[in-house]
Amino acid sequence: MARRLDTREAGFDADFRALIAQDRDEAANVDTAASGILAEVIERGDAALFHYTEHFDRLRLTPETAAVSAAEVDAAIQQCDAADLDAIAVAAARLRAFHRAQVPADTDWTDDEGVRLGQRWTAIEGVGLYVPGGTAAYPSTVLMNAIPARVAGVARLVMTVPAPDGHLSPLVLAAAREAGVDEIYRVGGAQAIGALAYGTKTIRPVDKIVGPGNAYVAAAKKLVFGTVGIDMIAGPSEILVVADGDNDPAWVAADLMSQAEHDENARAVLITDDTAFADRVAAAVDTLLTWLSRAAIARASWDANGAIITVRDLAGEAPALVDRVAPEHLELCVADPDALLKRIRNAGAAFLGRHTPEAVGDYVGGPNHVLPTAGSARFSSGLSVLDFCKRTTYVGCRAEGIGRIGPAAERLARAEGLEAHAVSVQRRLEGG
């Protein structure tokens, strides 16, 4: 049973602090293991990559069999249900449309001192996309990571996906084709992150790595940062639903379980101003958990990390509580969600109104479903086109421009004791 909190109770603030401070990451320290695998990939390249693939995925590879061929992708697509392929196409089209609106524009102007200023945007050249494999099949992960990269203009998009016992999800391969992935390799784990970051004879290195994975993948991404860029270190999934008593409790219960079923460490929280409604939602969750296919996972998540919070005044109290949680997913199931959203600062993505479940955002909403977790929405945002772009600024001075702004630069350089800096400006001033 999820914990119940009430802002009218004397111990609420301490209980709420304990809730949001709760450590939901996997307990095992995997950094040492991931570091060892990365070191072997650096030293032995393909030999280490293929050794760990055989060890963990029971799949023996060679340089000739590591890549998934175009013919294999064609065959996989033939195995897919036509309706599933249509759904992938719908999702891809909506994602492209939304992300095209994020493409930044170059700027170029001359200021009042006659100095030319500007910035230009260029796409990252090569990006590696990690996709979970095996029993998990997440074509949506492929679309959400690959499409903004393609929209940004990334020239080379490489996907790694583990293939335990040789199995690859046909839908994942179909999504890769739809999204325009260039290269696909049947490798996973920390060894795949190492190959993408450092390169092997079979896999050329990339410049940035994106995509979710298990604790070893997350640890490896953290360790290779600096050699390559990464998107984020994602934690367990989470949802916070703000709902008044006019909602259908079965709808809200399903929304809460849509995140709880991801992972035993996931978190689902309801904030409401109606105690009777809170009771009905709790009962509806119990009913769902009698038949959901992933009920054991969802129940473990709900019991360990779930919460129902009752407040006196939804509009008055909920925004501050939401900001303290800074949830990955925020549903505002109220009559005027826009008014409430204006008072909230911290959320990865918001879903507005009673008819907008978070699950729509996972697949076909348009915005990206790769979002900050564990309170990091306080200082970061979801994946976007900008994550696949670099900004180069520039300055252009003519003689009159350096004559106007140069004296201040020379003065500051001397104040900092950097004589060569000062002289480089001084000589242009004297020569102008």
Instruction: Examine the residue annotation and report whether 264 is marked as an active-site residue of this protein.
Output: no
Confirm if 172 and 131 have CB atoms less than 8 A apart.
yes
Q: At what angle do helices 31-44 and 46-57 cross, to 10 degrees?
A: 140
Q: Which long-range contacts (CB under 8 A, 24 or more apart) does 46-52 make?
A: 46/200, 46/201, 46/202, 48/191, 48/194, 49/187, 49/191, 49/192, 49/194, 49/195, 49/200, 49/202, 49/203, 52/189, 52/190, 52/191
DSSP 388-400: GEEEEEEEE--HH
Beta strands (DSSP E) in 244-376 are 267-272, 307-310, 329-333, 349-352
C-alpha 372/C-alpha 352 separation (Å) is 19
C-alpha 257/C-alpha 186 separation (Å) is 32
Annotated catalytic residue, options 329, 358, 369, 410: 329
- List Cβ neighbours of 335 (8 Å cut-off, separation of 6 or more): 244, 246
Confirm if 310 and 6 have CB atoms less than 8 A apart.
yes
| Look-up of token digits 């020239």 | 155
Annotated catalytic residue, options 178, 238, 328, 331: 328
Instruction: Examine the residue annotation and report whether 178 is marked as an active-site residue of this protein.
Output: no
Using DSSP, state whether 369 is helix, strand or coil. Answer: coil
Confirm if 46 and 200 have CB atoms less than 8 A apart.
yes
List residues with catalytic annotation: 328-329
